[in-house]
Amino acid sequence: MDVSNTRRIVILGKTGSGKSSVANTIFGEGLFTIGHTFNSETRECEARTKSVNGRSITLIDTPGFFDTERSEEEMKPEIVRCITECAPGPHAFLIVIKVETFTEQEQAVITKINEYFSEEVYKYAILVFTHGDQLPEGKTIKDVVGQNQLVSDLVEKCGGRCHVIDNKYWKNNQQDEYRSNQFQVKELLNTIEKMVESNEGSCYTNEMLQTVEEVIQQKVEAIRWSSGNMSEEEIRKQARVSTFKKLLIRLAGIATGVVLGALLGVGVSVGIVVKLLKEVGITAAR
């Protein structure tokens, strides 16, 4: 697998919004674990890579980073795992929200997104609405979005990029093409490619993500030198696991909110994490 040609896509959203189902719908098969209760939803960051429409895609399914009820200690390892999985940075962030009733909890999630997302991150963000069967007949997602100012503002920040899928009812034989996951996934992937093009082919990155990628590359070289006949994919996977463990130890004393802020471009947070990593000489250690 050529890492440089793979699109890295991080899926964000509240627990229960349908993040894992979105990942499975994009891949067209059940590679990600689906939970049906709060406790059995994704509790760990999970990454899978597959070729879709001729393009190698890595989807990074995350626990509810913006959940108000998750403890900081529980979340930190998963944020660090996400950082190591998406380094040197994602090409897209998919923010997953349910079409149905927009509650105070969803509003709290959007408030948190606004708190952590830098303006730069929004250039790489797309809203994906789930439970598309809740869309009124003959309406598109943009029609519905316009009815809620908070959501409408978020879509605007994301450059107007939003799509809708239904993980349960929208099979591919719908008479209405719009209400077909196959159609919507194709449109979503087209939006991602157009967005990457408008971002001049770059992924979202910052100094912290670049520092982590340097560590992974050092590990890759060390493993390759002593690995015998391991595949490049296996070598990089092993390098990521090793880097994850190292980062977790190094970031033990840093607040979870700062680590999440560093991933999502809050300048102060990026500076704090990079300073710490450089102080402990993480890029020099092999």
Q: What is the pLDDT of residues 58-101, one digit of tens each?
A: 999 998 888 877 787 888 999 999 999 999 999 999 999 988 76
- The domain in which residue 263 lies consists of 207-279
Q: How far apart are CA 251 and CA 259, in angstroms?
A: 8
Residues 189 and 212 in one domain: no
Does residue 285 form part of some domain? no
Number of domains in the chain: 2
Confidence bin at 4 (pLDDT 50/70/90):
low
Characterize 137-173 residue by residue with b for buried, 16 or more Cβ atoms within 10 angstroms of its Cβ, and e for exposed: eeeebeebbeeeeebeebbebbbebbbbbbbeebeee
Residues 20 and 149 in one domain: yes
Assigned token pair, 17:
């919004």
Residues 35 and 132 in one domain: yes
Please tell me the predicted confidence (pLDDT) of residue 283. 62
Last residue of a domain, one of 180, 198, 216: 198
Helix (H, G, I), strand (E, B) or coil at 162: strand
Does residue 183 form part of some domain? yes
CB neighbours of 204 closer than 8 A, spacing ≥ 6? Answer: 89, 90, 91, 93, 120, 121, 123, 124, 265
* Residue given tokens 């067209």 in the structure block: 28
Does residue 286 form part of some domain? no
% of residues, the chain, pLDDT over 70: 91
Helix (H, G, I), strand (E, B) or coil at 126: strand
Last residue of a domain, one of 141, 163, 198: 198
Please tell me the predicted confidence (pLDDT) of residue 226. 85
Does residue 284 form part of some domain? no
Helix (H, G, I), strand (E, B) or coil at 56: strand
* Strands 46-52 vs 55-61: parallel, antiparallel or unpaired: antiparallel
pTM of this structure: 0.92
Does residue 179 form part of some domain? yes
Residues 166 and 246 in one domain: no
Q: What is the pLDDT of residues 181-218, one digit of tens each?
A: 889 999 999 999 999 999 999 999 999 999 999 999 99
Give one DSSP letter per residue of 168-227, joined into a string.
Answer: TT--TT-SSGGG-HHHHHHHHHHHHHHHHHHTTTPPP--HHHHHHHHHHHHHHHHHHHH-
Please tell me the predicted confidence (pLDDT) of residue 203. 95
Q: How far apart are CA 219 and CA 230, in angstroms?
A: 14
Distance of CA 233 to the CA centre of its chain: 20
Assigned token pair, 81:
């795992």
Confidence bin at 37 (pLDDT 50/70/90):
very low
pLDDT at 7 over 80: yes
Residues 233 and 140 in one domain: no
Residues 189 and 263 in one domain: no
Residues 176 and 267 in one domain: no
Last residue of a domain, one of 151, 168, 198: 198
Cis peptide before 88 (omega within 30 of 0): yes
Residues 27 and 44 in one domain: yes
- The pair phi, psi for residue 94, each rounded to 5°, is -100, 120
Q: What is the pLDDT of residues 238-248, one digit of tens each?
A: 999 999 999 99
Q: How far apart are CA 129 and CA 141, in angstroms?
A: 8
Question: Any idea what the CATH number is for the domain that residue 141 is in?
Answer: 3.40.50.300
Residues 245 and 186 in one domain: no
Residues 173 and 58 in one domain: yes
Does residue 182 form part of some domain? yes
| 126 or 227, higher pLDDT | 126
Q: Are 56 and 4 in contact (CB under 8 A)?
A: no
Range in 34-38, 134-138, 165-169, 184-188 the model is least confident about? 34-38
Residues 193 and 229 in one domain: no
Confidence bin at 284 (pLDDT 50/70/90):
low
Please tell me the predicted confidence (pLDDT) of residue 171. 64
Taking alpha carbons only, the member of 46, 49, 42 closest to residue 7 is: 49
| 145 or 3, higher pLDDT | 145
Does residue 160 form part of some domain? yes
Residues 11 and 140 in one domain: yes
Please tell me the predicted confidence (pLDDT) of residue 15. 86
Mean pLDDT of 164-179: 76
Does residue 65 form part of some domain? yes
Q: How far apart are CA 4 and CA 26, in angstroms?
A: 21
CB neighbours of 230 closer than 8 A, spacing ≥ 6? Answer: 223, 224, 238
